[in-house]
A and B are shown apart, each in its own frame.
Chain A
Amino acid sequence: MNRFLLPLSIFIVVVVFLGIGLKLNPREIPSPLVGKAAPDFSQPQLFEPTKVFAPADMKGKVWLLNFWASWCSGCKTEHPVLMDLAKSGYVPIYGMDYKDQRDEAMTWLSRWGNPYPIVGVDDAGRVGINYGVYGVPETYVIDKQGVIRYKQIGPLDPDTVEKKIVPLVKQLEAQ
């Protein structure tokens, strides 16, 4: 090969990568937990603080775990999508109120509607850390064996729900 073409070749490779890079989101960090067992927890429930909410109760079900907070603006954006999904009955969505004030969280849900059968409270953000949450909202799809199958970083949108979540849930249900 002509050695004078070497700089041009290297440059072309770099440009191709930079071009691909334009389409990527450098702030989205894939979770190493996908394919692993969902970390266990046992948190008080939002509406009935004496009861606990634990993933062990969900064994045999496909379910979504949605981390949210009343202070998070992305959660507001996502909220109607969750309401629709909950209404459709494809899959139950369980909530985890992340680093929030209890009364504010309850007000928020009564004002905008509650898509969750149960909401756990993660006051100190410990469950969040165990699930590798770094910015709410984040949503996990967990299968019948309690294994995390998918993680959505940031708000769910109708498109993702239709093209990713629902087919995945159906497939997991069939197993």
Chain B
Amino acid sequence: MNIHWILLIVLFLSGPVWAGEARPLADDPVAEQRLKHLAVELRCLVCQNQTLADSNAPLAEDLRREVREMIAKNMNDQEIIEFLTARYGDFVLYRPPLKATTTLLWVGPFVLVIVGATALVVTLRRRAAKVVDVPVTEDEHRRVEQLLADGGKRS
């Protein structure tokens, strides 16, 4: 009931606005899209661990404003990122740039897989040569079942 009244009043007061399509928050949705694209990979400096896109800290708002202005000035992503790293260092980048100091970070995971795979293959080979098939025999399985059933007896 109430809602209807309110709606009716709103209808009268605001005329054409009523039931209109809401306006996007940003003046330039395309630029905003680019900002978002950039800001999700940038770190807010004052927050614990948030992206520039998610943070409401005043500095984050200022930096978003700067980035918007740079977008308006037609600077490309590379230039914008350089602007920020010149001031705050690589800390602002959630995607650490590949450098001498971050080589281990970027290749590490793949080295791990390669080393792991090699170790596995080598071990399996060596093992195959060494093992005289001592599998878990039926007998041992039975022993396990036995143990599981009444292990207390052995103690």
Contact = CB atoms under 8 A, between A and B. Distances in A.
Interface in B79-118: 85-89, 91
Interface residues of B, number: 13
Interface residues of A, number: 16
Nearest to A99: B58
B85 to A, nearest CB: 7
Interface string B26-52: 000000000000000000011000000
Nearest to B49: A26
Given A134-B45, A135-B46, A32 B85 contact: yes
B62 interface: yes
A13 interface: no
Interface in A113-127: 124-126
Interface of A: 29-33, 99, 124-126, 128-132, 134-135
Given A29-B45, A29-B88, A32-B86, A129 B63 contact: yes
A124 B62 CA distance: 8
Contacts of A132: 87-89
A32 B89 contact: yes
A131 B89 CA distance: 12
A125 B87 contact: no
Nearest to B45: A134
B89 to A, nearest CB: 4
Contacts of A32: 85-89
Contacts of A99: 58
Contacts of A134: 45-46, 59, 88
Interface in B55-73: 58-59, 62-63, 66
Contacts of B58: 99, 125
B46 A125 contact: no
